[in-house]
Amino acid sequence: MAAPGEFFAGIPKITYLPSAGPADVLCFKHYNAEEVLMGRKMEDWLRFSVCYWHSFCGTGADPFGDQTHQWPWNEGTPMESAKKRLRAAFEFFTKLGVKYYTFHDRDMAPEGSTLEESNRNLDEITDLALELQSQTGVKVLWVTCNLFAHPRYMNGAATNPDCHVLAYAGAQVKKGLDIAKKLGAENFVFWGGREGFLSIHNTDVAAELNHMASFFRMAVQYKEKIGAKCQFLIEPKPKEPCRHQYDYDAMSVIGFLKHYGLENHFKLNIEPNHTTLAGHSYEHDIVMASAFGMLGSVDSNTGSPDLGWDTDQFPMDIRNTTMVMKTVLEQGGLQPGGLNFDAKVRRESTDLEDLFIAHIGAMDAFARGLRNAVHIIEDGLIAGMVRERYSSFSHGLGQKVEDGSATLEEMECRSIHVKEKTALK
Ligand code: XUL
Ligand code: CO
């Protein structure tokens, strides 16, 4: 029997039961939130977050078929169902034991017929969000603005050829930052949904990139003006919906930020499914962003290696989660970022409990990845091999290359009488 206002009746608080059998799917077999590894609780290394758009707004529709999910919160007027959805989401976060969530402005509250009405809707729904946050202790990992779904954004937002559209996007981000501050969001994400092009022939690439940089500068100024504390994050993606997107991958975004002098104001939110769409391995952008001190957060999902599009599946591959967690451990954690499940249950997963099973599976996969990464780091074998591989840079000429003081003349001097065999040693 459902308690009044309960959406997930019959589903208990999910606990750690390592000895549970294979048929027991509503428990964690590996994720033990309180367990301390390398000086920190598992939950603090992993900082899991549930995403609002897939898990609570997703309908199961795809380009070939209509809605398959009949969720009980989708009832009443758009504002009524927005409130039901929020209550259902907080029941879910609490039962799952996840302390963070993420949302777009437009999936939290419906868009009105004017900006003013949209803002009013957001105010009303986020009042309720604030109340539920303080009742449960669940926090916002990040907020983002949906600058890609409405028809006005069909040619982009910050890179739109029409300045009026850029202005609308700016107004939306201004409100998004107010909301982020109100809810104490720890980060704020910019995903360049349609910031790119379908045809290079009608696109002034240099102008669009300049506009995008100006747009980000305005956001930095406003964030500082209102004293919002959230870390700005850019989420790279190479394509889809555009044929080419400017935030192609980690290195493109880092190059862009450095070119425009914005690198101190932003980090990256890496989504591995996007990384593989860019032709890289799963962990590539995690490693690259971290190497430059720019890994801020992770949209923990996966695609299928045999597909060329963004399927946003729950990550279940232990090899991948190990590689991610090894990088996270090596950089000392992800805080204030986290592991956000930008992932959706399949169109065919039509039971409410599937939402739990999917998250539990992915959380266990990350817990196993964390344990593996701890072993790899603690036994030190790989780190020792890597150190040895670069040992020639720890003294003499190598040290001078390392600190940038070496010259080509010194290289010549060192190499001229050395037989190749010795030089290669
Ligand atoms: C799209 C995507 C988005 C962003 C937020 O591919 O990943 O959901 O994470 O806008
Ligand atoms: Co994402």
pLDDT digits (tens, 9 = 90+) for 92-103: 999 999 999 999
Residues 23-44 pLDDT 10s: 999 999 999 999 999 999 999 9
Q: Does residue 419 surpass a pLDDT of 80? A: no
How sure is the predictor about 4, in pLDDT bands with cuts at 50, 70 and 90?
confident
* Paired tokens of 322: 């190990």
pLDDT at 2: 80
How sure is the predictor about 308, in pLDDT bands with cuts at 50, 70 and 90?
confident
Q: Does residue 425 surpass a pLDDT of 80? A: no
The rounded distance, in Å, linking the Cα atoms of 101 and 105 is 13
Please state, as a whole number, how many other Cβ atoms lie within 10 Å of the Cβ of residue 310: 18
pLDDT at 420: 64
Better-predicted residue by pLDDT, 360 or 416: 360
Residue 194, ligand 1, Cβ within 6 A: no
Domains of the chain and CATH, by start:
36-389 (3.20.20.150), 395-425 (no CATH)
Strand partners, 62: 65
Q: Does residue 59 surpass a pLDDT of 60? A: yes
Task: Give 401 Cα–ligand 1 centroid separation in angstroms.
Answer: 41
Q: Does residue 293 surpass a pLDDT of 80? A: yes
Cα 351 to Cα 64, 200, 362, distances in angstroms: 21, 44, 18
Rg of the chain over Cα atoms, rounded to whole angstroms, equals: 23
Give the up-direction half-sphere exposure of residue 400: CA atoms within 13 A in the CB hemisphere. Answer: 10
pLDDT at 417: 78
- 253 and 234 Cβ atoms separated by less than 8 Å: yes
Residues, the chain:
425
The residue from 30, 69, 104, 274 that is catalytic is 104
pLDDT at 327: 98
What average pLDDT does this structure show over 163-179? Answer: 98
Residue 237, ligand 1, Cβ within 6 A: yes
Task: Give 233 Cα–ligand 1 centroid separation in angstroms.
Answer: 12
What average pLDDT does the chain have? Answer: 96
Ligand whose nearest atom lies closest to the CA of 52: 1
Residue 191, ligand 1, Cβ within 6 A: yes
pLDDT at 305: 86
Annotated catalytic residue 150: no
Of 314, 319, 396, 365, nearest in space to 46 by CA: 365
The rounded distance, in Å, linking the Cα atoms of 347 and 322 is 28
Residues 79-88 pLDDT 10s: 999 999 999 9
pLDDT at 422: 56
- 169 and 209 Cβ atoms separated by less than 8 Å: no
Secondary structure in 3-state letters for the chain? CCCCCCCCCCCCCCCECCCCCCCCCCCECCCCCCCEECCEEHHHHHCEEEEHHHHHHCCCCECCECCCCCCCCCCCCHHHHHHHHHHHHHHHHHHHCCCEEEEEHHHHCCCCCCHHHHHHHHHHHHHHHHHHHHHHCCEEEEEECCCCCCHHHCCCCCCCCCHHHHHHHHHHHHHHHHHHHHHCCCEEEEECCCCEECCHHHCCHHHHHHHHHHHHHHHHHHHHHHCCCCEEEEECCCCCCCCEECCCCHHHHHHHHHHCCCCCCEEEEECHHHHHHCCCCCCHHHHHHHHCCCEEEEECCECCCCCCCCCCECCCCHHHHHHHHHHHHHCCCCCCCCEEECCCCCCCCCCCHHHHHHHHHHHHHHHHHHHHHHHHHHHCHHHHHHHHHCHHHCCHHHHHHHHCCCCHHHHHHHHCCCCHHHHCC
Residue 107, ligand 1, Cβ within 6 A: no
Residue 342, ligand 1, Cβ within 6 A: yes
Q: Does residue 284 surpass a pLDDT of 90? A: yes
Among 140, 271, 312, the mutation site with the greatest number of ligand 1 atoms within 8 A of its Cβ is 271
How sure is the predictor about 421, in pLDDT bands with cuts at 50, 70 and 90?
low
The rounded distance, in Å, linking the Cα atoms of 48 and 141 is 9
How sure is the predictor about 416, in pLDDT bands with cuts at 50, 70 and 90?
confident
Calculate what percentage of the chain has a pLDDT beyond 90.
Answer: 95
What average pLDDT does this structure show over 324-339? Answer: 98
